[in-house]
């Protein structure tokens, strides 16, 4: 059996009106219209000469049509390959641009989607769910957290926290840092949330790089957060600031989480070997697909680091793929269940309608592992969504 066709669906759902950045990002006033103008995803469909179909996703923060173009140019490498050997195909795709300045960014996101589609095919051909290739069925129930409490008015944040509790979550993440200099206000809000949810709920905090290059400010914020019993501090500073991360790891007791903005086993090897992070958060649709996830996962195991898959700002397909990772890894910490969209009023069809069946049925704060009788990713794609939201 060989790959016969690679197709791409660059999806964009514009928001009905511009919104303020719902998370902290440096220079938000100047970039938020571009970053938060709409929901995006790029879906890849790979078909074999026997007519089997596999799906993958590229994380798409910007310009889905650019990813489409890259995938179309890479496709001749993939057509004619054996879908049972995605790792080998990955090496060939990577080799085409690795020494041409494209070993990160759009190119790696593009090959991530192709790689995941090939793994989906591998599972379908061998009639096995993906977790069987990643470490097996390590658990039936997957610990998870609600993502995220976004920076809105206090009453909305507290209502949302209560909603997460009522939905059964025992852990949730708070976005903070929108106004880095006004961090005292953020700390007070975390305090209010702690009061609302009680001491038994695990709270984590994500700054989305709000403290940018100021790791000393991040340290001050971290010390206050520690007093409130928050479990991890995610992306306090710019993702490339390895020595800033190492400083925070060395000076804070709370765990430092990192990984959603980075690419391939090589970025992770650098941070892990320098002991610059405590919790590793790769996104399969960005790091290079499941081929890279598997290699990063093995590295984390060797260094005794916990793994917490990142799924934010992707479609439901990424969440479904990540559930296999969460099922299979011995060092899984917790799974990110996306429960809030950027816009309060605009429904996100990429997250809520792309799959024919929802997967995230919670039971006492846990998700169920994917079903053993559904090979590959084990989901059915609603093709109508692919057609309706495709842009060129």
Residue written as tokens 């990110």? Answer: 336
We find the least distance from the C-beta atom of residue 267 to Mg ion, in angstroms, to be: 16
Residue 45 vs 175, nearer CB to Mg ion: 175
Q: How far apart are the two ends of the chain, measured CA to CA in Å? A: 31
Beta bridge partners of 46: 6, 54
Query: What does the binding site for Mg ion look like in residue numbers (CB under 5 A)?
Result: 206, 234
Report the C-alpha gap between 114 and 63 in whole angstroms.
17
We find the least distance from the C-beta atom of residue 95 to Mg ion, in angstroms, to be: 31
Nearest to 318 by CA among 117, 17, 83, 51: 117
> For residue 365, how many C-alpha atoms fall within 13 Å in the half-sphere facing its CB?
11
Residue 206 vs 278, nearer CB to Mg ion: 206
Give the angle subtended at the CA of 171 by the CAs of 154 and 152, to the nearest 5°: 20
Computed from CA positions of residues 237, 197, 323, 117, in that sequence, does the dihedral angle turn out positive or negative? negative
DSSP-assigned states of every residue in 289-316: SHHHHHHHHHHHHHTT--B----TTS-H
CB 144, CB 359: distance < 8 Å: no
We find the least distance from the C-beta atom of residue 258 to Mg ion, in angstroms, to be: 9
Beta bridge partners of 171: 202
Coil/strand/helix, residue 203: strand
Residue 205 vs 381, nearer CB to Mg ion: 205
Nearest to 112 by CA among 79, 140, 86: 86
We find the least distance from the C-beta atom of residue 147 to Mg ion, in angstroms, to be: 8
Residue 71 vs 202, nearer CB to Mg ion: 202
We find the least distance from the C-beta atom of residue 92 to Mg ion, in angstroms, to be: 32
Residue 233 vs 389, nearer CB to Mg ion: 233
CB 293, CB 284: distance < 8 Å: yes
Report the C-alpha gap between 178 and 32 in whole angstroms.
12
We find the least distance from the C-beta atom of residue 276 to Mg ion, in angstroms, to be: 17
We find the least distance from the C-beta atom of residue 282 to Mg ion, in angstroms, to be: 12
Residue 186 vs 234, nearer CB to Mg ion: 234
Residue 121 vs 257, nearer CB to Mg ion: 257
Report the C-alpha gap between 232 and 49 in whole angstroms.
47
Residue 109 vs 234, nearer CB to Mg ion: 234
We find the least distance from the C-beta atom of residue 38 to Mg ion, in angstroms, to be: 19
Q: For Mg ion, which residue has the nearest CB? A: 206
Structure tokens at 333: 């910490």
């Amino acid at each position: 059996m060989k790959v016969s066709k690679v197709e791409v669906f660059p999806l964009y759902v514009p928001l009905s009106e511009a919104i303020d950045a719902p998370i902290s990002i440096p220079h938000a006033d100047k970039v938020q219209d571009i970053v938060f103008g709409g929901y995006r995803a790029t879906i890849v469909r790979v078909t074999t000469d026997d007519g089997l179909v596999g799906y993958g996703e590229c994380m798409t923060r910007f310009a889905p049509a650019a990813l489409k173009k890259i995938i179309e140019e890479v496709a001749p490498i993939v057509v004619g390959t054996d879908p049972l050997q995605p790792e080998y195909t990955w090496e060939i795709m990577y080799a085409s641009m690795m020494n041409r300045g494209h070993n990160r960014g759009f190119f790696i996101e593009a090959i991530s989607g192709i790689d995941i589609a090939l793994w989906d095919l591998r599972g379908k051909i061998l009639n096995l769910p993906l977790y069987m290739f990643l470490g097996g069925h390590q658990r039936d129930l997957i610990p998870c957290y609600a993502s995220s409490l976004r920076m809105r008015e206090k009453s909305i944040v507290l209502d949302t926290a209560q909603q997460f509790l009522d939905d059964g979550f025992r852990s949730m993440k708070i976005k903070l840092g929108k106004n880095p200099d006004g961090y005292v206000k953020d700390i007070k809000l975390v305090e209010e949330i702690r009061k609302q949810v009680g001491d038994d709920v695990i709270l984590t905090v994500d700054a989305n790089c709000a403290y940018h290059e100021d790791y000393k400010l991040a340290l001050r914020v971290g010390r206050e957060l520690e007093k409130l019993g928050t479990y991890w501090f995610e992306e306090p500073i710019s993702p490339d600031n390895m020595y800033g991360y190492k400083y925070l790891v060395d000076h804070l007791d709370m765990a430092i989480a990192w990984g959603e903005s980075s690419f391939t086993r090589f970025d992770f090897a650098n941070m892990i070997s320098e002991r610059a992070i405590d919790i590793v958060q790769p996104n399969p649709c960005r790091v290079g697909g499941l081929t890279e996830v598997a290699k990063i996962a093995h590295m984390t195991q060797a260094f005794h680091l916990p793994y917490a898959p990142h799924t934010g700002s992707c479609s439901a397909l990424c969440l479904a793929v990540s559930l296999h990772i969460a099922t299979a890894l011995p060092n899984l910490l917790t799974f990110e269940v996306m429960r809030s969209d950027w816009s309060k009023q605009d429904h996100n069809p990429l997250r809520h309608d792309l799959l024919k069946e929802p997967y995230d049925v919670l039971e006492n704060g846990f998700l169920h592992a994917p079903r053993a009788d559904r090979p590959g990713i084990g989901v059915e794609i609603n093709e109508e969504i692919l057609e309706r939201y495709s842009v060129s």
